[in-house]
Amino acid sequence: MGSWTFEELPGGLSSLADKNTARLLEKWDLAANSQAARFRYSAPFEAGELDAFVTAFFNSNTVQAAAPVRAGTRRSSAAWVQLGRVDAVECERLSTTVVRRDIFDRLEERGIVRGGSIARCMDVPCGEMVIASDLLRLMLLDEGSEEWATYSDGERRELIFHLFRILAVGGGLNQWEDDIAPYIDMTTALYKDMVAVHKDARGSLAVRSVVLRVLSVEGSAPLFPSPSSHHRCLLAIDPLLRHVTLFYHAFYPMM
C-alpha cells in the first residue's frame, strides 16, 4: 500500500467565489451544508491502489481540518466536524465523457424547458422533498415519471449530471428558479473547475481526471449525517498535476 501526504491548495474553486454564485447557493439552500476544496498529493498511485488512496485522503489531518463533514440529524443541530479515523471507503466511479454543455439541450427538446423557462406541473410528493412542482424536478427525482427517461442510466452516472442534480434539487429550503439558465451556467462552470481536460491521441478533447462518488466510509464517524439519496461527496483526481478536488453536500430536509 502506498503512502501519501496531502497539502491544501489556496483559493478553492474559482467557480464558487463570486458574489452572484454565493447568492444563488444561499437561495438554493446549498451554502450552509456544502463545501469544496482542492489538495495536492505527494506521490502517484496505481489503479489497484485507488481505495487505499481515498482512505489515506480522508485520514489526512490536513484534509480533515480543511474539509470537515456535517453531523447532526436535524437542521437545527447541524455542525461541521472532523471525520476521524477512516478504515475503509465505498466509492463508485463516475463517467466524464461529456465535454460540451449540449447535453442539456434535451430539456428543451422534451418540453421540460420551454423558451428557457422550466415547465410547471401539479405538485407531486417525491420522497424527502416536500413537492416537485415542475417537470425538471420530476425528471430528476421521480423514477415513475415520463420525464425520467429523458436521460439514460449511463448519462445519470456522468459527473456533470450529478453536479446539475445537486444544484437543481438544492436543499430542503430551496427557492427554485423559474428559468433553467442559472442551473446550467453554474453546472458547467463547476464542472470545468473540477476536472482537467486534455487532447487524446485522436486530437479530441477528453477528461483525464478520475472521478469518484464516495458513498460512505467505515470508521469512527459517518460521512453524512443521515440516510438520504441527496447527499453527495465527489472527488476529482488529476493524475498529472496530482490534484484532488472535493465537492461535498449534505442534504437536510425542510423540517
Element containing residue 50 per DSSP (H, E): helix 50-59
Q: For residue 203, what pLDDT is reported? A: 80
Q: Are 152 and 182 members of one domain? A: yes
Average pLDDT, the chain: 93
Q: Which three cell numbers stand for residue 85?
A: 479515523
Q: Are 116 and 241 members of one domain? A: no
- Domain limit, last residue, from 194, 209, 239: 194
Residue 1 has pLDDT above 50, yes or no: no
- Domain limit, last residue, from 178, 194, 210: 194
Q: pLDDT, tens digit, for every residue of 32-90? A: 999 999 999 999 998 889 999 999 999 999 999 999 999 999 998 999 999 999 999 99
Q: Are 209 and 86 members of one domain? A: yes
Q: Which three cell numbers stand for residue 161?
A: 449530471
State the DSSP code for 49: G
Q: What's the CA gap between 120 and 206, in Å, rounded? A: 36
255, part of any domain:
no
Backbone angles phi, psi at 203, to 5 degrees: 85, 10
What domain range is 56 assigned to? Answer: 6-13+21-95+197-249
Query: Domains in the chain: how many in total?
Result: 2
Q: What's the CA gap between 196 and 173, in Å, rounded? A: 33
Q: Are 242 and 220 members of one domain? A: yes
Q: Are 81 and 155 members of one domain? A: no
Please provide the size of the chain in residues.
Answer: 255
